[in-house]
Chains A and B, each alone.
Chain A
């Protein structure tokens, strides 16, 4: 027997491609623009969101029948805020430099539309196991885009990947730099992240025409 039923597997894999939170639902753009200048920050952000959304979805799902619907938003906020503070403190304890790079954006996971969106749209109406899979799937879909954007921005903007000088040394003029190559400073600015996300959306829609909206 398969580990996951077909329906459950779809919960995990759909958000990776045809129902991607960033490229299809266009949620969580702020953080995708702000912290993707380095691949490492993108990866940590992806993992943080995965932890918050995975656990948060389960908690909300367990409490779904006792949360009064009138105050559900505030309950969701309390839960997500508590989880984000935990993630933030863990980052500060084990990787202080990185948490400084991410600065307020870890705290701003609270306002990440993807998280509130999944709480509202999924966890309030489904059991814990399904909610957990849905949380993992959506945060993975978000993370994949973050990592792709971070990969290109760090490679073209700084000539490095995870801090390693993969294109050579720009000061000693080794590798590609010996031929007059230069880093593209525009890649490190936020507008370029928007353009890279736009190009990903473009490529995705040209592969899958059903995603193109009618207008």
Chain B
């Protein structure tokens, strides 16, 4: 008997019992169900929720693989700085990937295990089908946390994010906040020592800090916030050979993912473009403030304000947030005009938080969460504006 038949039989066996949603989910996750709609309208569409989610996951796989190599590369480069002289040779090695496997894979497994566990439990208690909302979240979460995040913290945060961020609002499609960012925000506020500073971004940096060969594993944003020089070139920043959260360092691969999402019409290009635009505008404004000598290099804002606007787009989580987080169709604005406003403000506010609050150098997730809350309001005014304009036109015609 084939696996499909087995799953189908299991599903039939548990039909009508409490456990039914769990078996239905496993069955339809792997195969198309046997039963066919009878009577009425037949709608045939290949891009149901599961396929949509899978496409987003595929777009993220390059980032994940790169992050696994980067995990090892940052580790070894922190011990032996000469590795940085020839990045391309020293990057794609098996040693690097092995560190990635032992550090990043557990994050992925915990994220999916705990998150899907919560989803299944809720589906069984409430007696509805398991919703696929967690598939993308589960992949996003390991990519946006520091590599040394303890697994139990991740598990606690995932439970919090899925229950408080999503299930209390009614599950997939009803949430106001992006669950992955809720998880990130929970970790950030609950365990700040594990989520910021110069010890968490490179594997084993905490232990190395005790010994003599302590090399700072500060992120670029952290260094700029403290007015320090940065050793990484713009090439490194764009390619992603820099310390940071697991999968968000490589702007190149994120843009590749963005192209894939836009091509498959899953992600909104309006939001992506608007976010980068907003960030660039804010960056330019700060650059002008610096050129106009309004602040001097003694100011605590000088480091980040004098960062060139195009550099702002490459460092930190801005690109990742713009492509994979802001475009979440549930929490983003729905109208086209609204998407431009929503994206622009995300970019704009991200850079503002980055510069003005050195304690939160990673302002992107806060900006996206904030705009998630405002998205319905933006939509409301866009729709009302449209209604008003059309009413006016109708009145003019009739008069």
Contacts and interface: CB of A to CB of B under 8 A. Distances in A.
A, B in one complex: yes
B165 to A, nearest CB: 11
A209 B153 CA distance: 34
Contacts of B193: 182
B190 A185 contact: yes
Interface in A143-195: 180-182, 184-187, 189, 195
A182 B153 contact: yes
Contacts of B329: none
Interface string B190-202: 1111100000000
A189 B150 CA distance: 22
Given A195-B164, A202-B168, A186 B152 contact: no
Interface in A57-88: none
Contact of B190 (A181, A186, A202): A186
Contacts, number: 23
B341 to A, nearest CB: 26
B235 interface: no
Contacts of B191: 182, 184-185
B186 interface: yes
Secondary structure type dominating chain B contacts: helix
Nearest to A185: B190
B186 to A, nearest CB: 6
Contacts of B189: 185-186, 189
Nearest to A206: B125
Contacts of B186: 186
Contacts of B168: 198, 202
Nearest to B190: A186
B179 to A, nearest CB: 15
B191 to A, nearest CB: 6
Nearest to A202: B168
A13 to B, nearest CB: 29
A198 B192 CA distance: 24
Contact of A180 (B150, B156, B164, B192): B150
A181 to B, nearest CB: 8
Nearest to B192: A185
Interface in B149-170: 150, 152-153, 156, 164, 168
Contacts of A181: 152
Contacts of A189: 189
Contacts of B192: 185
Closest 9 CB pairs of A and B: A186-B190, A186-B189, A184-B190, A185-B190, A182-B191, A185-B192, A180-B150, A195-B164, A186-B186
Contacts of A186: 186, 189-190
10 contacts: A180-B150, A180-B152, A181-B152, A182-B153, A185-B190, A185-B192, A186-B186, A189-B189, A198-B164, A202-B168
Contacts of B194: 182
A187 B152 CA distance: 17
B70 to A, nearest CB: 25
Given A182-B194, A184-B190, A185-B192, 7 more contacts: A180-B150, A180-B152, A181-B152, A182-B153, A182-B191, A184-B191, A185-B191
Contacts of A187: 190
A191 to B, nearest CB: 8
Contacts of A195: 164
Interface string B125-157: 000000000000000000000000010110010
Contacts of A180: 150, 152
Nearest to A156: B190
A187 B168 CA distance: 19
Interface in B175-218: 186, 189-194
Nearest to A199: B164
